[in-house]
Structure 1
Amino acid sequence: MIREFSSADVLFIVMAVRWTLILSAIAFAGGAIGGLIIALARTSGNVWLRGFSAGFIRLFQGTPLLMQLFLVYFGLAVMGFPINPLIAAAIALTLHASAYLGEIWRGSIDAVPSGQSEASFALSLSYFNRMRYVVLPQAMRLSVAPTVGFLVQLIKGTSLASIIGFAELTRAGQIVNNATFQPFLVFGIVAALYFILCWPLSVLSRRLEARMRLAITR
């Protein structure tokens, strides 16, 4: 039975923002760890590590995030390992973020002038110390803007978790719309909340990119 849209519905939608933020934080934190491992593997001297990391990136960048969510959630259930939607979404989004952040950070590592690595090698620094003290600090500075830009995409990507029943912002909007049949109003509120979450990050990303271009031209 269709009912009237009320302030309680607005509160329900707004409260769902916390689950979008929680899922985004988990996926970004896990993706940062996985992405760093992938980036280091892609730039290592080991052929097997480079091949594995390249295949990982191609797999997760070349397949839809929605399919990855389905495979984790329904695939594990078919194999006898049912998990709740939050864990399934966190795993899928972490793998997704690992591939993209790994490629972003690999590009940043490659962008560090080769003379820096050569100088640290001449000083007999180990690979670990060369990366820790010379290459990664410079690469991190180069990667800040694209990393923030990807975080915006990740926040928006959490909306796909609604497909497997996870009650984040988009799913909350679907629940309210099914009860009130006010799609323009309900999803207008949902869109506004996504805008509030993502717009400041988008502005920050553009400013960081502009600052980086200015620093390069000087």
Structure 2
Amino acid sequence: MASIGVNELLFLLQGLKWTIALAAIGFAGGGLFGLGVALSRVSTHAVLWRAGAAYIAVFQGTPLLMQLFVVYYGIGLLGVNVDAWIAVAIAFTLHASAFLGEIWRGGIQSVPKGQTEAGKALGLHYVSRMKDVILPQALKISLPATIGFLVQLVKGTSLAAIVGFVELSRAGQIVSNQTFRPLMVFAIIGAIYFALCWPLSLWGASMERRLAKSAR
């Protein structure tokens, strides 16, 4: 039974680097596309509304694990040789955009309608009303839920190992197989995930309390 030395710890940190990178790309890309999904969900155009609703239904109604499989092997069936890193980045972006789009849709609809009416009365067109009036308030309202989803996304990166992507959990499996110390290895991994997610959870709870106080 081998010991867990510096090399093994460095390998785990290498996996941690890819976990953080994947979560960051999925969250940033999901935020960009999620904003479009949220706007389609509050649109008065039936086609846009239905397209947004269908998109959310598909990605919220299917497991992330299945989405990773479909993206990775589906792109391969099209004759495109795609690296696992690109495939999981695309899958996490699509997954995050559906959830963030629905979170932000709720935030937009939580903004009092009087804000929209005031913007119209001032002669602001749609883009200006959304950019300067509605979205800043909606994103502030949605911030606790957005942070909560980011925590789930960080933990969800562990599923990327299914297509051969070596992130923190997969790195832990490799080290565990080499050292035959699964309990110790996964205790370290759990501590790393906790160190990543707990501050985010505290931040989200703090933001929720601040919003509750300001609403009184």
> Map of 1:52-63 to 2, 5 A cutoff?
52-63=51-62
Aligned ranges for residues 26-175 of structure 1 at < 5 Å? 26-175=25-174
Unmatched tracts of structure 1, length 5 or more: none
Q: Distance in 2 between matches of 1:110 and 1:69?
A: 31
Moved more, 61-70 or 133-142: 133-142
Residue pair 1:73, 1:82 contacting (<8 A) in 2 also: no
Alpha-carbon distance between aligned partners in 2 of 1:171 and 1:82, rounded to the nearest angstrom = 22
Q: Greater CA deviation, 177-186 or 196-205?
A: 177-186
Report the TM-score, using the length of structure 1 for normalisation.
0.96
CA distance in 1, matches of 2:124, 2:93: 32
TM-score with structure 2 setting the length: 0.97
Cα deviation code 1:10-46 (max 9, x no counterpart): 2211232111111111111100101100011111111
SS of corresponding position for 2:24? helix
**How large is the Cα RMSD of the aligned pairs?**
1.1
Inter-partner Cα distance in structure 2 for 1:89 and 1:188: 26
CA contact (8 A) 1:43 1:106 kept: yes
Structure 1: how far apart are the matches of 2:35 and 2:139?
Answer: 11
Give the whole-Å Cα distance in 1 for the aligned partners of 2:134 and 2:57: 25
Cα offset for 1:78? 2.2
Tell me the amino acid that sits aligned with residue 206 of structure 2.
Answer: R
Alignment length (residue pairs):
216
Identity of aligned residues (%): 53
| Deviation digits for residues 119-140 of structure 1 (CA, Å, limit 9, x no counterpart) | 1112221111110111111111
Gaps of 5+ in 2: none
